[in-house]
Amino acid sequence: KGLGDVSIGRTPNVKEPNVNVPEEIQRVASLLASNKHKNIVILTGAGVSCSAGIPDFRTPGTGLYDNLQKYNLPFPEAVFDLGFY
């Protein structure tokens, strides 16, 4: 895929429609496409995964905190503890 004039992936001749992409995003896309960086961490805000169907923490009825009882955890924070699993 590409962002504006920056091609990403193994199809350098395929470009997305020309859209107004901020310069910072174009630089990040170029760095990712260069394959020079192997360890990448992306920090996002709360709720970024909700559109993918992953529940958030606080929504009543569907949020993780509201559904912890079905996991039979010894304490609520155990859901984040790898040692528990």
**pLDDT, averaged in runs of 10, over the chain (85 residues):** 48 64 90 88 80 83 86 86 83
Contact 33, 7 (CB under 8 A): yes
Q: Any idea what the Cα angle at residue 49 is, between residues 46 and 50, rounded to 5°?
A: 90
Rg (CA), the chain: 19
pLDDT confidence of residue 11: 52
Contact 55, 64 (CB under 8 A): yes
pTM value?
0.39
As a residue count, the chain comes to 85
The contacts of residue 67 (CB under 8 Å, 6+ apart) are 55
